[in-house]
Amino acid sequence: MDDAQSVRLRASRAGGTGAMRTARRPRGILKMLESESKMVRIIRRVLPFTTAVCIIAILYVAWVFMARWSENRSLEQAADAKKQTADNEVTRTYGSDKLKIVSFYTTPGAIARGEKALICYGVANAKTVRLDPPVERVWPSVSRCLEVSPSRDTKYTLTAEDAQGHREMASFLLRVK
């Protein structure tokens, strides 16, 4: 009797298939180990490609962040330049420390008797402001308008004075038809 027959004979005497299962287990384990080694081989073959894909993805994300940062920086620089230009314009218009009447006008330029007109004025670096003939209380302001209703042609004069005593004057004639 050979070894395989004796294993079968013992299995049948021992009560059935328990011994047979132990004889089959090594084959199942071998198949499982073979399938695991196939899986490892597949993973080892794919791993360099997935690594390359991950590196490419990381580089793309870094490029996107860098491009957005660069664009935001150029927009901020443009906004800063525009703000600087506006600041320079304000300084040029209002002067640094010099007294200046920025605006003094009426709208409309001529009115009918009984109608109302607006007198608007703006001063820079003034301590006191006076309007002749007096209409209502006035004070230093960058932009302020008053409502008037003269009965005849009237010449309005705005006088502004700074803290050092320097004066500046402006006038216009409001015509009444």
pLDDT tens across 101-151, in order?
A: 989 999 888 999 989 999 999 998 889 999 999 888 999 988 899 999 998
Please tell me whether residue 129 adopts helix, strand or coil conformation: strand
pLDDT at 5: 55
Give just the sign of the alpha carbon dihedral 9, 10, 11, 12. positive
Same domain, 65 and 125: no
Task: Give the end of a domain, one of 94, 109, 131.
Answer: 94
The whole-angstrom separation of Cα 124 and Cα 104 is 12
Q: ω before 133 within 30° of 0 (cis)? A: yes
Is 81 in the same domain as 168? no
Higher pLDDT, 34 or 85: 85
Residues 6+ apart with CB under 8 A from 115: 149
Alpha helices in 14-149 (DSSP H): 18-94
Do 30 and 88 reside in the same domain of the chain? yes
2 and 89 fall within a common domain: yes
Q: Which pLDDT tens digit goes with each residue over 36-51?
A: 788 888 888 888 888 8
